[in-house]
Amino acid sequence: MKHPLLNLSLILAGLVGCAAYGWLLLDWVQDMKTGNYDSDPLEAVCQAIVILAYCYLAYHFIDSRVTGSIRSQGPKINPMQPSRP
């Protein structure tokens, strides 16, 4: 680990982001159950957009990390090229 402070801050930022997402999701579900959005539907739309945007960004972040780690593993094999004995 070259930068332990940077790694720690990234881990803490991720934990805070997950906690904020969970809190927002729980708040949204509770407001849907209690009917708070009947009087203010714009708030429901805004919160739904924020939740979907977070999911979209998280998906692309994870996807880039997974495909990046797959690309870095070993040499690429071309199935059309015969292997050398």
Q: Which of 67, 33, 32, 36 shows the shortest CA–CA distance to 51?
A: 32
Residue 51 is assigned to a structural domain of this protein: yes
pTM, rounded to two decimals: 0.59
Low-confidence ranges of the chain (pLDDT < 50): none
Answer yes or no: is 63 within a domain: yes
pLDDT of residue 12: 92
Residue 14 within any structural domain of the chain: no
User: Domain residues for 56?
Assistant: 41-68
Q: So what's the pLDDT on residue 35?
A: 85
In a domain, 48, yes or no: yes
- Is residue 58 assigned to a domain? yes
For residue 30, is it within any domain?
A: no
Q: Which amino acid is at 76?
A: K
Evaluate whether residue 55 is within a structural domain. Answer: yes
The count of structural domains within the chain is 1
